[in-house]
Amino acid sequence: MEDRPSGAASQFHALSSGLLSEDPVAHSAAIRPGRAACIEITTGNSVIYADLDRRVARYAGLIAELIGAPAQARVAAIARNSIDQIVLAFACQRAGAVFVPLNWRLTGTELAVLIADCTPSLLVFGEEFREAALQAAASAHGVKTMPFEGDAGISARVARAAPATAVPARPDDPCLILYT
């Protein structure tokens, strides 16, 4: 039986290879909470690890609220690069879901093919991609859609979501699907 650290550090432990076997955001928040975690080049917005960890926990809680038990459920996103998309990716990992970033340059018809293939439970989109996202989701059964922005968007709803703790994952569980 291995000894595990206590307190905030107990959210992770190192494998013999030096890799983390659990949540990398929680790990970084525990050892360097005030260090910059993400910077949006286009806006200059940034987030430190402690805030990133809190946002990831709330996003993971919202994912669980929206799609139930998210273990291996797909969460697709159509949006430009942003801190919110990074938060969503880590939240999927924390919730046990699979993050599927989709190319925002594709048409609704092209996106529909990818949606049919990855069968997401939730499709989150940037407002400028609403038309293509809704067109792509319309042909799929049971896909919930939600914008990042606005009163009904994930960014507004996440403030009311209960934070979630990390769901243990096996080393071979997928956490990301990339289409090339």
- Write the CATH number for 66: 3.40.50.12780
Q: What is the mean pLDDT of the chain?
A: 87
In a domain, 107, yes or no: yes
Residue with tokens 């929206």: 66
Is residue 5, in this structure, part of any structural domain at all? no
Answer yes or no: is 3 within a domain: no
CB 142: neighbour CB atoms within 10 A?
Answer: 9
Q: What is the pLDDT of residue 69?
A: 79
Task: Please give the tally of structural domains in the chain.
Answer: 1
| Residues 139, 150: Cα–Cα separation, whole Å | 24
Helix, strand and coil percent figures for the chain, each rounded to 5 = 40, 15, 45
pTM of the prediction? 0.85
Give the per-residue pLDDT at 152.
Answer: 83
Residue 82: inside a domain, yes or no?
yes
pLDDT at 21: 54
Residue 146 is assigned to a structural domain of this protein: yes
Is 81 within a domain?
Answer: yes
pLDDT at 7: 45
Q: Which amino acid is at 43?
A: T
Q: Out of 15-24, 64-73, 102-111, 127-136, which region has the weakest mean confidence (pLDDT)?
A: 15-24
Domain extent at residue 56: 14-160
175 part of a folded domain = no
Rounded percentage of the chain residues whose pLDDT exceeds 70: 88
Considering the domain boundaries, does residue 176 fall inside one?
no
**Can you tell me the distance from the alpha carbon of 76 to that of 73, in angstroms, rounded to the nearest whole number?**
10
Average pLDDT over residues 78-95: 94
Q: What is the mean pLDDT of residues 25-51?
A: 94
